[in-house]
């Protein structure tokens, strides 16, 4: 056994129940990490340091300034550069004995089955519903275990799916927790809701820990349980879950045998608001400039509104029901948020509460305003 091997991994080798055999298994393993953002950064750093044999990082994203609050592998000089290519170089410097590969591409229904099939473990470090269902189904169909993590504001969660069990079966998966996605517009990602900068480090490190245990075949894995962590209240709990009777991957024969259009499945590929209830950014500009009687209702959080706005009343979506009296009047009401997701979700209830009133939401939100009306408008 080489001296460098012993020196590099000595603190793992002397662990009770670990030893050289576990390290050799880890060093012979192959891992695909999908996502090189908040969760992916701590995962790839710790798996590289731990000594996995082959580490592939897949992501087509580039570094942006707002990433630096939590994605600590990147710096200001990296803005605009591809994340996985940067990561591969820096990981190789951490541990040259790990074969690190950068895949600067997005995992899709067209390539997932072929890309995922040759790995011992997949790490889902993505941040959206479409990717979660896609990766879950591809891993199930390929019989590849996966570690899942997700973040929102101050809360994080993780679990292990498709893990081989002693009886020959596999542990429950994401669709046993969520057989179907929520109605369109009811899920908000970090770009809309924010995330505490330290939270990805906490959940990502726990994901890496589960990966090491699975690959080295030690300890008890987090399968059949969903770990929940609340950083704001410093509370955690683990919920047990079992196979769900409505999981479309199960059955004999299973109803789902191939990957599907996950954007359509999650309601992302088409608007869930009738076109006549949407207002385009240029139309809103014209109405504002014409002096038309309208009320702008910005439903973002106060912190978002303070950073940038086009005016109007600011009532956060979470407080709207308690403050409806502030919206009395006959003028047209236009709902505004960052991307149009939150405003679209609130629109139906407001139309019920104010029947006959002209109510719209700004299609595409302030992102559309920046793209179509004011390129210099600051967005964060």
Active-site residues, by number, are 190, 337
Torsion sign over Cα 204, 207, 212, 213: positive
Question: In angstroms, rounded to a whole number, what is the distance separating the alpha carbons of residues 129 and 374?
Answer: 30
* Alpha helix (H) residue ranges in 170-299: 174-177, 190-193, 199-216, 262-265, 281-289
Cis peptide bond upstream of 99, omega within 30: no
Question: Helix 365-372 vs helix 281-289: angle between axes, to the nearest 10 degrees?
Answer: 80
3-state helix, strand, coil in the chain (%, to 5): 40, 20, 40
Yes or no: say if 359 and 321 are a contact pair by the CB < 8 Å rule. Answer: no
What does the block give as tokens for 364?
């595409």
The tokens for 291 are: 């002096």
Peptide bond into 309 cis (omega under 30): no
Report residue 261 as tokens: 């259009």
Rounded CA separation 159/163 (Å):
11
Measure Cα distances from 153 to 28, 133, 162, 230, 318 in Å.
37, 21, 27, 9, 14
What six digits make up the tokens of 317? 């979506």
Q: For residues 242 and 176, is the Cβ–Cβ distance under 8 A?
A: yes
Beta-strand pair 235-240/225-230: antiparallel
Residues 6+ away with beta carbon under 8 Å from 357: 330, 332, 333, 351
Element (H, E) at 157: strand 155-161
Nearest-angstrom CA–CA distance, 355 and 359: 9
């Amino acid at each position: 056994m080489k001296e460098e091997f012993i020196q590099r991994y000595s603190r793992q080798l002397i662990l009770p129940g670990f030893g050289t055999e576990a390290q050799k298994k880890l060093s012979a393993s192959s891992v695909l990490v999908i996502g090189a953002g908040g969760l992916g950064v701590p995962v790839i750093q710790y798996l590289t340091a731990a000594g996995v044999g082959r580490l592939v990082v897949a992501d087509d994203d580039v570094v942006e300034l707002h990433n630096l609050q939590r994605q600590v592998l990147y710096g200001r000089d990296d803005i605009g550069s591809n994340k996985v290519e940067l990561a591969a170089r820096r990981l190789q410097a951490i541990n040259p004995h790990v074969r690190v590969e950068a895949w600067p591409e997005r995992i899709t229904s067209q390539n997932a089955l072929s890309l995922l099939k040759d790995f011992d473990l997949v790490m889902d470090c993505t941040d959206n519903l479409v990717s979660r269902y896609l990766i879950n189904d591809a891993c199930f169909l390929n019989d590849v275990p996966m570690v899942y993590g997700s973040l929102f504001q101050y809360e994080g969660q993780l679990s292990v799916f498709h893990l081989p069990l002693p009886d020959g079966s596999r542990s429950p998966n994401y669709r046993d927790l969520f057989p179907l996605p929520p109605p369109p517009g009811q899920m908000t990602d970090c770009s809309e809701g924010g995330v505490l900068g330290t939270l990805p480090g906490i959940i990502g490190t726990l994901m890496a820990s589960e990966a090491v245990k699975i690959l080295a075949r030690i300890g008890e894995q987090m399968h059949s349980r969903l770990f929940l962590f609340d950083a704001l209240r410093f509370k955690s709990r683990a919920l047990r879950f079992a196979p769900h009777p409505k999981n479309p991957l199960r059955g004999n024969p299973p109803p789902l045998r191939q990957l599907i259009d996950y954007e359509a499945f999650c309601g992302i590929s088409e608007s869930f608001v009738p076109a006549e209830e949407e207002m385009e950014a240029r139309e809103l500009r014209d109405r504002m400039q014409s002096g038309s009687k309208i009320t702008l209702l910005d439903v973002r959080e106060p912190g978002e509104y303070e950073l940038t706005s086009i005016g109007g009343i600011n009532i956060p979506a979470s407080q709207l029901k308690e403050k409806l009296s502030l919206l009395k009047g006959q003028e047209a009401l236009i709902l505004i948020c960052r991307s149009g997701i939150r405003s679209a979700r609130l629109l139906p209830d407001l139309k019920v509460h104010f029947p006959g009133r002209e109510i719209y939401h700004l299609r595409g939100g302030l992102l559309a305003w920046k793209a179509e009306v004011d390129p210099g408008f600051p967005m964060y």
